[in-house]
Chains A and B, each alone.
Chain A
Amino acid sequence: MSSTKGNRQVGIVIIKDGQVIGLEAFDHPETFKQHKDDLYKKYALDIATKSEKADENPSTALAKLEQELEQRKVTKEQHFNIGGENIYIETQSLRGSLFRRGAKTIVTSIIRK
Chain B
Amino acid sequence: MSYFVEWGKRKMSEETLVKRIGKVSKSGAGSEIYLKDEELEKVGIKQGDEVSIEMKADGTILVKKHSPISNVFLDFLRQLDYGEAVKVGDTFVIPIFAKEVNERDYVTVKEAMANQQLQIRDTGSIDRVSVSNIGDKGILITQGQVLEGSTQSRAVVTNLILRANESYEVPTRCVYSTEPIRARAPMQFKGIAPRQVAFFATAPSDKVSQGITWQAISAFADRCSTAQDRLADEGFSPHINELRMASGSQDLAKHLESLSSLGNIIDEKVRKGVKYERK
Q: In whole Å, how far is B167's beta carbon from the nearest beta carbon of chain A? A: 11
> Considering the chains assembled together, what is the distance between the CA atoms of A8 and B111 in angstroms?
19
Q: Scoring B residues 237 to 268 as 1 if CB is less than 8 Å from chain A, else 0, what string do you get?
A: 00110010000000000001001101110110
Closest 4 CB pairs of A and B: A83-B161, A51-B90, A11-B96, A99-B159
Q: Contact partner of A13 among B96, B143, B203, B227, CB < 8 A?
A: B96
Q: Contact partner of B162 among A39, A83, A108, CB < 8 A?
A: A83
Residue of chain B at shortest CB distance from A68: B70
Q: Contact partner of B30 among A5, A75, A84, CB < 8 A?
A: A75
Please tell me if B43 contacts chain A, counting CB pairs below 8 Å: no
Q: Contact partner of B95 among A2, A48, A90, A101, CB < 8 A?
A: A2
> Considering the chains assembled together, what is the distance between the CA atoms of A104 and B177 in angstroms?
37
Name the A residues within 8 Å of B31 (CB-CB): 74
> Considering the chains assembled together, what is the distance between the CA atoms of A90 and B207 in angstroms?
10
Q: A5-B83, A13-B82, A87-B69 are in contact. Are A66 and B77 (CB under 8 A)?
A: yes
A-B contact count (CB 8 A): 272
The count of residues in chain B whose C-beta lies closer than 8 Å to any C-beta of chain A is: 96
Residues of A whose CB lies within 8 Å of any CB of B are: 1-2, 5-6, 8-16, 21-23, 25, 27-31, 34-51, 55, 57-58, 61-62, 65-66, 69-70, 72-84, 86-90, 92, 95-99, 101, 105-113
> Considering the chains assembled together, what is the distance between the CA atoms of A82 and B97 in angstroms?
27
> Considering the chains assembled together, what is the distance between the CA atoms of A5 and B270 in angstroms?
15
The answer to whether A41 and B260 have CB atoms under 8 Å apart is yes
Name the A residues within 8 Å of B199 (CB-CB): 95, 111-113
The answer to whether A49 and B227 have CB atoms under 8 Å apart is yes
Q: A44-B259, A83-B163 are in contact. Are A22 and B195 (CB under 8 A)?
A: yes
Q: Contact partner of A9 among B30, B77, B96, B161, CB < 8 A?
A: B96
Q: In whole Å, how far is A60's beta carbon from the nearest beta carbon of chain B? A: 10
Q: Scoring B residues 86 to 118 as 1 if CB is less than 8 Å from chain A, else 0, what string do you get?
A: 101111111111100110101010110000000
Q: Contact partner of A65 among B54, B77, B157, B161, CB < 8 A?
A: B77
> Could you write out 20 A-B pairs with CB less than 8 Å apart?
A1-B83, A1-B95, A2-B84, A10-B97, A13-B96, A40-B266, A41-B259, A45-B196, A45-B223, A45-B262, A48-B262, A49-B227, A50-B89, A50-B230, A50-B232, A51-B89, A57-B278, A76-B30, A82-B170, A90-B207
Name the B residues within 8 Å of A13 (CB-CB): 82, 92-94, 96
The answer to whether A66 and B227 have CB atoms under 8 Å apart is no
The answer to whether B104 and A28 have CB atoms under 8 Å apart is yes
Q: In whole Å, how far is A16's beta carbon from the nearest beta carbon of chain B? A: 5
Stretch at the interface among B10-18, B34-42, B186-194: B186-194
Please tell me if B236 contacts chain A, counting CB pairs below 8 Å: yes
The answer to whether B230 and A49 have CB atoms under 8 Å apart is yes
Q: In whole Å, how far is B279's beta carbon from the nearest beta carbon of chain A? A: 8
